[in-house]
Structure 1
Amino acid sequence: MTQDQQTGSRGGRGSGAPGAASRWVQRKMNARTNRKIRRGRGRFMGMDLLILNTVGRRSGRPRETPVTWFTDGADTWLIIASGGGSQHPDWYVNLMAHPDRASIELPGREAVAVRPHRLEGADREQAWQRIVDAQPRYAKYQSKAEKEYPVIRLSPR
């Protein structure tokens, strides 16, 4: 998607929006990672990965995105919408636009329909603390960002 979620302007040179070539590379990398997750190998840099299935907010087409996740109790998962710090990632925008059509795939398992809930206030702070305790790199990553990253709890639907 070339649409800048923050300003609504079209991406172009100097706008920070990825070009067609980098989007193509990202799609190829995501597809490769998704294949690994489906074969039961869902780890990257010491973090667990899942496949987040969403629907494009404008296109209505299915989207599959590998995302790091953290446990939040039995059958509940936490994900972070970092998107490089300046704008929300496409998967987050799609998830919030069509929350009733979301599902996840954990390594080697069937898809599970999920209900996303963006955490706020004390709930977010508690979840965020568990995340940075498990992966301190997220605290460093967040400190360099212009905005607070949304934390989303996914629970089975």
Structure 2
Amino acid sequence: MAVADWNKTMIDEFHAKGGKGIGHFGDKLLLLTTRGAKSGRIQTSPIVCHRDGDRYVIAGSKSGAPSHPAWYHNLVKHREAEVEVGREKFKVRATPIAKGPERDRLYEAHGDNFAAFR
């Protein structure tokens, strides 16, 4: 299945279930809507997340690929985005975390939250 088709399936299931119990992700999925870095088009991506205090944390791992996912590049160029969690939608401003202790801690917590991430 192509990535775009898989994303559409996950997004449709997310909306049908109010963001709860989505595939093998359970309740650990959010929808991130960004503006394309090159195209300028609005794009929505389902992404595994975890909470760190009042922040939602996502990791641009692209399932272990050596390159970043498109949404990462979108956020680098356009830091304002929209997040959908459960039935809530809200505007966000992405904060990239530089390499170092905080990033290491968040990355480790991401793996603790979703074992398949490791």
TM over 0.5: yes
Correspondence 1:133 to 2:112: yes
The structure whose residues are more often helix, as a share, is 2
Mapped partners of 1:49, 1:135: distance in 2: 10
Displacement of 1:46: 4.0
Shift of 1:138: 2.5
Tell me which residue corresponds to 1:147: none
Q: In 2 relative to 1, CA 108–131 (structure 1 residues): closer, same or farther, beyond 3 Å?
A: same
Structure 1 vs Structure 2 CA RMSD: 1.8
**TM-score (structure 1 length as normaliser):** 0.65
**Separation in 1, partners of 2:42, 2:19:** 23
DSSP 3-state at the match of 1:125: helix
Q: Deviations over 1:66-121 (max 9, x none)?
A: 000011113x1010101242111111111111112x11111222x21111111121
Q: Which amino acid aligns with 1:117?
A: T
Is 1:27 aligned to 2:20, yes or no?
no
Instruction: Indicate the SS of the match to 1:87.
Output: coil
AA partner of residue 89 (structure 1): P
Q: Which residue of 1 aligns with 2:47?
A: 67
CA distance in 1, matches of 2:77, 2:116: 29
Q: Counterpart of 2:92?
A: 114
Aligned-partner residue type, residue 29 of structure 2: L
Residue 90 of structure 1, aligned match among 70, 76, 97: 70
Structure 2 unaligned blocks of 5 or more: none
Identity %: 27
Which of the pair has more CA radius of gyration? 1
Q: TM-score, normalised by structure 2?
A: 0.83
Instruction: Give the Cα–Cα distance (whole angstroms) in 1 for the partners of residues 3 and 25 of structure 2.
Output: 20
1:50 maps to: 30
